[in-house]
Each structure stands twice: as structure tokens, then as C-alpha cells.
Amino acid sequence: MFRLPEYELATAKFIGQAMIALGRAQHPIISQMQWEEIPEGPLGTSIASQDGEQIPLEPTLAGGTLVSDLADLTNTNLDALITQIQSASEEWAEEMFRAVLGHLGTITEATGNVVKVEAITPDGVVELFEKIDITFDEDGQPSLPTLVLHPATLEKLQKESGPEHEQAINEIIERKRREFLARKRSRRIS
């Protein structure tokens, strides 16, 4: 069997693109992020602070491990390849998610999106909803934040939360919807 470098390069590129596309599509947080591919230039990105200053974020390398059996490849066992790409995509998405969490403090501080509450309790979550800006779409549906919590913290919150907390959050959202719609009605085209 002979090898052609251009085939190897094309195969590696295809597998890499498939791994990233699957990872982006299937991860609950990564799938919500906007992506912009930059063909060449320096690695990394930056975020604009409240005063317009560009704050650089260090680049993060992320990847997935793909181990294929030569027999699977020569026998064109696509199921084995697909399973390996799926596994690698999950690994890549988790590495990207950890990188995003690593930059989260810098990003939220720079954009002024830090909300501090006393504690991560049901009352703290109600306080959080009181403090954050909530936007609404044309149909009046809220665009709510994504809360990223440790599984143990989430479980504790779910156990401690009661109907009074859900009602308080719903009342806050409804009040903010009315305020949003009132501002929308009072806007004038000049």
C-alpha cells in the first residue's frame, strides 16, 4: 500500500473539522457560543471592556484523542471511525468549555457583567434575577442567562428551592417584561 501526503492531509483536515463541528453542535454551552474562524494571524482573542479597551485573552489549545486500528481503516470500518471522531469531539468540547470557564472571570469583569450575591442559595438566585438585565424578544419572551454550576451546587439548589422561589423569579421576570415593553412603546423614531 502506498501513501500520498495530500491524502493524509485531507483526511486529517476532515477529521479535525468533523470533530470540532460535532463538539460545537452537541455541547450544551459550547453550542450556544458564536464562533469566528480566523484563517491566519496571531492566535488568541480579545474582549472589549466597558470603556472600549481591548483586553487580550490567552489562546487555548484544545484537541481530542483519536486512535484508530489500522485494520479498521484498511477495511473501511466507518462505524469505528465515527465512534472515534465522536469520542474525540466530546473531549475537545470539554477542553474548550474548561478554557471558557477559565476566561470567564476576565470577560465578566471587563464587560461589567459581574453580579455578586450573598450565597448560592435559592434566595441568592432570586437576588441574582433582581440584579441582572433581562432582554426580551419581539414576542416578549425573556433571554435568560445560563447559570454554570457545579453539579453538587445545582443538586443542593434544587433540593432547597421551593415554589415561593420560582414564583418570586417569575414575578421579577414579569415586572421586567412590563418595564421592557413600556420602554419599547415610548421609543420614538426621529
- H, E, C per residue of 28-83: CCHHHCCCCCCCCCCCCEEEECCCCCEEEECCCCCCCCCCCCHHHHHCCCHHHHHH
- Please report whether residue 117 resides in a domain: no
User: Tens digit of pLDDT per residue, the chain (190 long)?
Assistant: 556 778 888 888 888 899 989 999 999 888 888 777 767 766 667 777 778 888 787 777 788 888 777 777 778 888 888 898 999 999 999 998 888 888 877 877 777 667 777 778 999 889 889 888 888 888 889 988 777 778 888 899 999 999 999 999 999 999 999 988 888 776 655 5
pTM: 0.57
Question: Are 77 and 106 in a shared domain?
Answer: yes
Asked which of 111, 139, 164 is the last residue of a domain, the reply is 111
Q: Domain range for residue 56? A: 5-111
pLDDT confidence of residue 187: 61
Alpha helices in the chain (DSSP H): 5-26, 70-74, 78-111, 122-131, 151-160, 163-186
pLDDT confidence of residue 66: 80
- Which conformational region is residue 52 in: left (phi greater than 0), alpha (psi within -120 to 50 degrees), or beta? left
Question: Are 143 and 172 in a shared domain?
Answer: yes
Question: Are 104 and 13 in a shared domain?
Answer: yes
Question: Are 27 and 87 in a shared domain?
Answer: yes
pLDDT confidence of residue 21: 92
Q: What is the count of structural domains for the chain?
A: 2
